[in-house]
Amino acid sequence: MAKPIALALVGHTNAGKTSLLRTLTRRADFGEVSNRPGTTRQVEALGLRIDGRDALRFLDTPGLEDAPALLDYVQQLDAGLSREQRLQAFLRGPAAQDEFEQEAKVLRCLLEADAALLVIDAREVPLPKFASEIELLMLCARPLMPVLNFVCHPHAQEPAWRRLLADHGLHAYLRFDAVAPFVGAEQHLYADLGALLPERREALTAVAEHLRREAQARRAASLTLMSDLLLGLAAYRETIQKASLADPAQKARRIAAFQAQVLARSRAAQIQLLGLHGFGPDSAEAAELPALSGRWESELFNAEVLKSAGKRLGAGAAIGGAIGLGLDVALAGLSLGAAATVGAAIGGVASQGLGAVGRSLGNKLRGIAELSLEDSALLLLAAQGLTLLQALERRGHAALEVLQIKAELAFNAEQVAALAAAFRVARAHPDWAVTAQLSPSEAAQQQRHSKAVATALGL
C-alpha cells in the first residue's frame, strides 16, 4: 500500500494556512481560524481519505515568527559545515528549544514531508522578512509550492509577490483564495504538485480526479434535495372549511400556519444543503432564513416581490393563471380555494386520471377550500436555492463572515415550462408532501419527476 503523500503547510504567522487546509479538506471544524496572529501553536495533522485510506496527509504548522533572526543564527554557525549540517546543528542545539522553538517545529515537520505548500497572504507587502522565510525554508531542500492566498482581496500585492518568488527561483505558484476559492483550484494545485513530485504524480492525479467526482456528486445531491423540496411544497396543501373564512382572525391564523410550515421545510432543506457542502447551519444567511434576517417572509409572501421575481426569473405568463371554479382569494404566493388544485389537476388529467379532479370538486361541494403554494413562490424558492448552491460551490471553509444570499438568477423558457409541468403533477399528488409515507409505486413516480426537476434546475 502506497504511503500517503505528506504535505506541510508553512508560512508566516496568520498567512491563512489553517484556512487553506479547511478549504482543501472541506473541514470547517479543523483547527482555529481567526484574525489573531499565531493561532496555530502546534503541528496538527489531517488526512484526505480516498477509498477508505489516507491519500494525503496535511501537516498544519505554526507560523514563522522571526525568520530573519534565525537565518542569521544558522549562517553564523561553523563555516565548515554544509547548509544541511548547519540546519541539523541548529535543530539539535538549545536555540531550537528556546527562542526559535516555533521555527524549529516548522523545519522538523518540513524535513519529514514530501513537499510543502508555502502559504502567502497576498494582502501583505512583501517585506525583506518574507525573503528570509523563503531562504530558511529552502535549507530543508524540499519542493516548495507557493500558494498566493487571498488574491481576490482589493489590496492584494500579487505582482510584487511574483517578483519576490522569481528572485528565489520559485516561478511556479498557485493563485488561491481560502475564503472564495476559484472553481477547479484544487485540481490545479495537485496537478502542479505532480510536476514537483514526479514520482507521486499518478497518486496526485488520482486525488484531483477523486475531488472532481466528489464535486459532481455534491452538485447532483444538492439538485435532488432542491427538487424534492419543490415537489413536496407544490403538493402541500391545507384544507379549510369555507365557513371559517368569514372570521378574519381564524383565516389569518390558518394562513400564517401554512406560511410557517413552508418556511420550516425550506429552512430544513437549506441546513441539509449546507451539510452536503461541509458547512454548519449558521454559515449562511440566505433569503430562506427569517430567523436571521427577517427578510424572506416579506419576499416569499409579498405580492409585489413575487410579481417582479416572476419577470426576473423569466416566468412571464407561465405562472399564475390556474383554471378554477368559484372561490378564489388573492394571496401573495398562495392560492386559497378550488382554483389552484382543480386547475392543476385539469392540467394533468391526461396522465393522472380523474381522482384529483373528483376530490377537489368534492371538496368544493362540501364547502372545503384548499390552501396551496403558487408557481411564482416555488420558482422564487428554486432561484434562491440555486443561488445558495452557487455560493457554496465558490465558498471556502475558512470564511468567517456570514453568507449573504439574494436570488438573482433567471430561468429560461425551457426551464420554466419543465418546472411548471412538474408542479402541476405534484399538485395532483398531495401525498408527495410527505414522501416517507409513499407507496412504492408513488415513490417511483415522485422520483422520476424529481429527476426531471433536477435536470431543469441544472440546465
In this structure, is residue 211 part of a structural domain?
Answer: no
Q: Which residue has the higher pLDDT, 115 or 369?
A: 115
Q: What is the CATH number of the domain that holds 101?
A: 3.40.50.300
**Quick check: 48 and 56 in contact, CB under 8 A?**
yes
Do 224 and 342 fall into the same domain? yes
- Percent helix, strand, coil in the chain, to 5, is 55, 15, 30
Among the residue ranges 53-67, 177-191, 310-324, 344-358, the one predicted with the least confidence is: 344-358
Helices 440-457, 201-235: crossing angle, 10 deg rounding: 110
pTM score, whole prediction: 0.75
Q: Is 93 exposed, middle or buried (0-12, 13-18, 19+ CB in 10 A)?
A: middle
Do 229 and 124 fall into the same domain? no
Do 132 and 252 fall into the same domain? no
In terms of DSSP H, where are the helices of 277-354? 290-293, 296-300, 303-312, 338-347, 349-352
In this structure, is residue 168 part of a structural domain?
Answer: yes
Do 165 and 238 fall into the same domain? no
Q: Evaluate if residue 295 carries a pLDDT over 70.
A: no
In this structure, is residue 210 part of a structural domain?
Answer: no
Q: Evaluate if residue 341 carries a pLDDT over 50.
A: no
Residues 375, 344: Cα–Cα separation, whole Å: 11
Do 291 and 327 fall into the same domain? yes
Do 253 and 368 fall into the same domain? yes
Residues 414, 261: Cα–Cα separation, whole Å: 30
Do 190 and 232 fall into the same domain? no
In this structure, is residue 435 part of a structural domain?
Answer: yes
- Three-state SS for 237? strand
Amino acid in position 272: Q
The pLDDT value recorded for residue 246 is: 78
End-of-domain residue from the set 139, 164, 196: 196
In this structure, is residue 381 part of a structural domain?
Answer: yes
Give the pLDDT band (50/70/90) at residue 182. low
Q: Which residues contact 421 (CB under 8 A, 6 or more apart)?
A: none
Q: What is the pLDDT of residues 410-421, one digit of tens each?
A: 788 889 889 999
Do 258 and 327 fall into the same domain? yes
**Quick check: 451 and 374 in contact, CB under 8 A?**
no
In this structure, is residue 206 part of a structural domain?
Answer: no
Q: Evaluate if residue 37 carries a pLDDT over 50.
A: no
In this structure, is residue 312 part of a structural domain?
Answer: yes
**Quick check: 240 and 254 in contact, CB under 8 A?**
yes
In this structure, is residue 131 part of a structural domain?
Answer: yes
The pLDDT value recorded for residue 309 is: 60
The pLDDT value recorded for residue 161 is: 95
Among the residue ranges 74-83, 275-284, 311-320, 432-441, the one predicted with the least confidence is: 311-320
End-of-domain residue from the set 163, 196, 229: 196
**Mean pLDDT, range 301-322, rounded to an integer:** 56
Parent domain of 50: 5-196
Question: How many distinct structural domains can be found in the chain?
Answer: 2
Do 366 and 238 fall into the same domain? yes
Do 319 and 173 fall into the same domain? no
**Quick check: 107 and 43 in contact, CB under 8 A?**
no
Do 222 and 168 fall into the same domain? no
Do 27 and 143 fall into the same domain? yes
